[in-house]
Amino acid sequence: MQQSRRQLFSQDEGLALKALCIIVVMMHNYLHLRGFAAENEFQFYAERVGHMWQLVLHPDWHLPLHVVSFIVSYALVGFLFCSGYGLVKKYEQGDADFNRRNFVSHHYIKLIKLLALPLIVAFVVFTVLRGHLPLNWKDTLLEFLLLGNLQWDVSIYPFVYWYLGMALQLYVLYALLLHRRNGHYDTWHQALLVALVIGCGVWQMCCAPTGKWIYYLRTNIPGYIGPFVMGMVTARHLDHISLKRWQWGAVALMGGVLMALSLGNYYTWLWGWVPTLVFMVGTIKAVRWLQWRPIVWLGSVSAMVYVIHPIVREVSLHYKHPNHSVADLVIYMTVSVILAAGYAWLLRRIHNVNQH
């Protein structure tokens, strides 16, 4: 995110938020496969909520890990908020040129470059460890093209790369419909944003909590357009907000309570991204040490961590120790971050070579 005019959310704060989100995503994607609390990410199962409450009422030292495993669906909204916020800052309030075709092709190629090598390695690792290809040839091709989400019988396992396909959809939507230049946010456009968010939310509310429609919607634009639009609205209209640190702390506390309460009901769960964003932004603004340099750095390589960690997870789960889940978790996360740093370096080298 580029600094432009006054900003509610600085670049370092945005990177810190991405760092916290990628930590939760990494932990969840490992923990729920080690028997920790199952999440309601794409579908809503009331029994999972009941199980989580039992864990809270009868806690042990594993409770924090159960909580992290359970709340992953809310971790992704931080990435989408930062994406919407950053696009407005760069292409509407900054100096970057905007051409719809160039914008879509640039981001599509960028995502393909990010995914290509890790996906090839993932296929090799999964095939060697499992003895068979993880996906059929059609699904494999669609996965490489970032179009796998669009299938009705979409299968996101064993990978987590569905998110990149959904991000591509949001880039296309932004280019075709949502982009505005030089503050020309007319009434029609603002009404469109409201209609998109409410319409997609109501569409999900009409679905069966454990049905195929809700699963499909929550792996595509309708499931996550809300936080993306909220990031855009914040950049356009809410940058004037200025609170003291204790006030941000109160905002975060309120958001955290509402976020926790939203997890227990299907309809509130669908709209839980709203208090979650309040909690996230308030926390980042209130707790200044979260902008510690190593955390900010982790946020800068969060995309690389995202595409690398499924490979490390598969190896870690294959060689896991039955009684050392926490130690295995720490090793898996450490190796994922180290490899992501190396991959970030490699991508920079390739970019520099292409520039010359």
Positive or negative: CA dihedral 128, 116, 32, 298: positive
pLDDT at 16: 95
pLDDT at 116: 92
Domain range annotation of the chain: 11-355
Separation between Cα atoms, residue 205 and residue 212, nearest integer Å: 13
pLDDT tens for the chain, 356 residues long, are 444 456 788 899 999 999 999 999 999 999 988 889 988 889 999 999 999 999 999 989 889 999 988 987 788 999 999 999 999 999 988 888 889 999 999 999 999 999 999 999 999 998 999 888 888 888 888 888 999 888 887 766 667 889 999 999 999 999 999 998 766 777 888 899 999 999 999 999 999 999 999 999 999 999 999 999 999 999 988 888 888 999 999 999 999 999 999 988 999 999 999 999 999 999 999 998 888 999 999 999 999 999 999 999 999 998 888 777 888 999 999 999 999 999 999 999 887 777 66
Among candidate residues 334, 350, 276, 341, the one with its CA nearest the CA of residue 303: 341
Residues contacting 291, CB < 8 A, separation 6+: 12, 13, 16, 284
Residue type, 87: L
pTM score, two decimals? 0.92
Separation between Cα atoms, residue 16 and residue 24, nearest integer Å: 13
Residues contacting 158, CB < 8 A, separation 6+: 126, 134, 310, 314
Q: Are 86 and 1 in contact (CB under 8 A)?
A: yes
Residues contacting 219, CB < 8 A, separation 6+: 42, 149, 154, 156, 162, 166
E strand or H helix at 309, and its extent?
helix 302-318
